[in-house]
Amino acid sequence: MSVTPKKPLPVIIIGAGPVGLCLALYLAQREVRSCLIERFDDQTFIDQEARAGSIHPATLEMLADLGLYERMERRGLIAPKFQYWDREADHMFAEFDHTVLAGDTRFPYVLQCERTKIIDEAMQVLRQSTFCDIRMSTEFVSFTQDADSVEAVVTDTAGSEERIRGSFIVSCEGGRSIVRKTLNIEFEGYTYPERTLTVAINYDFDKARGYSYRNYLSDPEQWSNLFKWTQPERWRVHFPTNIDDAPDKVLSDEHIQTQMQKFLPRDQPYEIVHRTLYTVHQRVAATFRAGRAMLAGDSAHVNSPIGGMGMNSGIHDAVNLGEKLCGILSGRYQSDVLDRYTRQRRHVAVNHTKLQTERNKKLLTEKDPAARQRNHDHLRRTAEDAKLAREFLMRTSLLNSVREAAAIE
Ligand SMILES: Cc1cc2nc3c(=O)[nH]c(=O)nc-3n(C[C@H](O)[C@H](O)[C@H](O)COP(=O)(O)OP(=O)(O)OC[C@H]3O[C@@H](n4cnc5c(N)ncnc54)[C@H](O)[C@@H]3O)c2cc1C
């Protein structure tokens, strides 16, 4: 008598951020079932803070494979170039052009497309699949695991509890991961004492001053970043804040207008469309796996947004882990391949994302005039030399980190 093989239990994914959604899409494409838990309802999900938005070439390749690229391109801005400015001396000193990567990637540019648009599009595609059970308005509370399965406890908006069994649980919950805390996994690193102010402005910075769509501004007192987000003229500016300043003061019209006039003086006030303060951490979990529980994205690593790497590397986690989970559930891999996931992706979190974002911050905030000059000269020479520029962009585009991780056994 033939025995029908047992259907594997779904993979439980906590959090429908970019990482959780990309993992669910990866699994659904390969007909692996998942259950995606998200606390927001359909409306609050769309109304979230925009946050991440620079999508690098390595990630664009993955989004294309997930069937998301065309949707993203329609809603984003293609940014082949980015610039470094000396804010103190008020001039641009280095410009990098991704077109030197034309032989390395299908996407020799960065796509400026905010997190909210990514999750909106990814959710629309995922809803077309029968392989993902999407639970909105559902709060993940706790979980347990044994040798063969996991069980997640969730509640609905009325507080009713439900237990969901799965084959694995993947925490894509963001930095405050309950899974990580339950497992007592150390979140090693530190938190910067000062917060960063982000202001969205309607103004033609490119026409007014010749900025590219992505700009990093070094300054011994007040570094800054300036990015264009949407046509015709929505930009985002980031400033550091003083540790002692009260949030109300930092977020006031008066303070922001003063900052903006210092940034680029004009004879009228700026049109401020959004403002927010955020805290920046540099932390990496001691391991990304404990038994059948895995961490991915911000739940595994958080870093400074300078360089735009958090969401990108989180999506790389999702694709890496998705491949291994599919392999295990189809019987091709043993479960110890999940330790390889930790080795590969933790290596990237520590040796690429953390290192590079710390380096970016140091470059923009350097106070010593001689060191500043050396840094600027070095970057200028790198940008002007085709070979050095390609090497530099292979790192910032995250193509190197994906290749390096693939080589780790
Ligand atoms: C101002 C700013 C700019 C940034 N810019 C960039 C950039 O340009 N490029 C880049 O790569 N990164 C950037 N980042 C970082 C980026 O936003 C994060 O790395 C990314 O959003 C992490 O994705 P995630 O899916 O891991 O987690 P999140 O995006 O935090 O998503 C977590 C999801 O889990 C849900 N959730 C959490 N807990 C529960 C629970 N208990 N029950 C149910 N649901 C739960 C949340 O509601 C949320 O939907 C930026 C961050 C900031 C603050």
- For 127-185, strand residue ranges (E) read 132-135, 139-145, 150-155, 161-166, 168-171
pLDDT at residue 152 in the model:
98
Chain segment 288-308, per-residue pLDDT in tens: 999 999 999 999 999 988 888
Is the pLDDT reported for residue 375 higher than 70?
Answer: yes
Report whether pLDDT(402) > 90.
Answer: yes
DSSP state of 199: E
**Does the pLDDT value for residue 6 go beyond 60?**
yes
d(CA 87, CA 144): 52
Other Cβ atoms less than 10 A from the Cβ of 257: the count is 14
Q: What percent of the chain has pLDDT over 70?
A: 99
CA of 389 from ligand 1 middle (Å) equals 30
What Å distances lie between residue 26 and 105, 118, 233, 375, CA to CA? 21, 15, 34, 41
Per DSSP (E only), the strands in 286-347 are 289-290, 293-295, 301-302
Ligand 1 pocket test, candidate residues 13, 26, 51, 360, most atoms within 8 A of CB: 51
Closest CA to 16 of 180, 244, 169, 173: 173
Helix or strand (DSSP H, E) at 215: strand 214-218
What is the spatial distance between Cα 22 and Cα 343, in angstroms, rounded to a whole number?
A: 21
Predicted pLDDT of residue 5: 62
pLDDT at 181: 98
Nearest CA to ligand 1 atom 2: 51
pLDDT in tens, 30-73: 999 999 999 999 999 988 888 878 999 999 999 999 999 999 99
Structure token digits, residue 93: 């000193």
Rounded to the nearest angstrom, the distance between the alpha carbon of 369 and the centre of ligand 1 is 36
Residue to mutate, 12, 22, 39, ligand 1, most ligand atoms under 8 Å from C-beta: 39
CB 124 within 8 A of CB 16: no
Cα distance between residue 219 and residue 251, in whole Å = 21
Alpha carbon of 48 to those of 43, 117, 263, 269, 353: distances in Å?
A: 9, 10, 28, 27, 25
**DSSP letters of 217-237?**
EE-SS--EEEEEEETTTEEEE
Tell me, in angstroms, the distance from the centre of ligand 1 to residue 304's CA: 13
Cα end-to-end span (Å), the chain: 41
For residue 282, the cross-strand partners are 190
Residue among 277, 311, 321 to mutate when testing ligand 1 (max atoms within 8 A of CB): 311
Fold that domain 11-78+111-188+282-363 belongs to in CATH = FAD/NAD(P)-binding domain (3.50.50)
Strands 293-295 and 168-171: parallel
d(CA 223, CA 218): 5
Backbone angles phi, psi at 361, to 5 degrees: -65, -40
Ligand 1 atom nearest to CA at 309: 11
Give 138's Cβ-side CA count (13 Å radius): 22
Tens of pLDDT, residues 156-214: 999 999 999 999 999 999 999 999 999 999 999 999 998 999 999 999 998 889 999 99
pLDDT in the model for residue 2 = 56
Measured by CA distance, the residue closest to atom 9 of ligand 1 is 308
Task: Find where tokens 């025995």 sit.
Answer: 3
Q: Whose CA is nearest to atom 31 of ligand 1?
A: 17
Report the C-alpha gap between 397 and 70 in whole angstroms. 19
Nearest to 105 by CA among 390, 408, 405: 390
Q: Which residue CA neighbors atom 52 of ligand 1 most closely?
A: 51
- Half-sphere exposure (Cβ direction) of 213: Cα atoms closer than 13 Å: 23
Q: Where are the domains of the chain?
A: 11-78+111-188+282-363
139 CA → ligand 1 middle, Å: 16
Mean pLDDT of 276-280: 92
Cβ count within 10 A of residue 264: 16
Provide residues with CB under 6 Å of ligand 1: 14-20, 37-40, 51-54, 115, 139-140, 172-174, 178, 198, 278, 297-298, 305, 308-312, 314
Residue tagged 């391991």 (tokens): 287
* 130 Cα to the center of ligand 1, angstroms: 25
Q: What is the pLDDT of residue 1?
A: 55
d(CA 170, CA 310): 17
Sheet with 224-230, edge to edge strand ranges: 91-97, 81-86, 214-218, 224-230, 234-240, 187-202, 271-285, 301-302
98-145 pLDDT tens trace: 999 999 999 999 999 999 999 999 999 999 999 999 999 999 999 999
Of 189, 200, 292, 287, residue with least CA distance to 239 = 200
Give 4 or 116, the one with higher predicted confidence.
116
1 CA to middle of ligand 1, Å? 50
Rounded Cα–Cα distance for residues 23 and 315 (Å) = 8
Contacts of 73 (CB under 8 A, 6+ apart): 111, 113
Residue given tokens 């303070």 in the structure block: 255
Q: Is the pLDDT of residue 77 over 70?
A: yes
Q: What is the pTM (predicted TM-score) of this model?
A: 0.96
Cα of 297 from ligand 1 centre, angstroms: 8
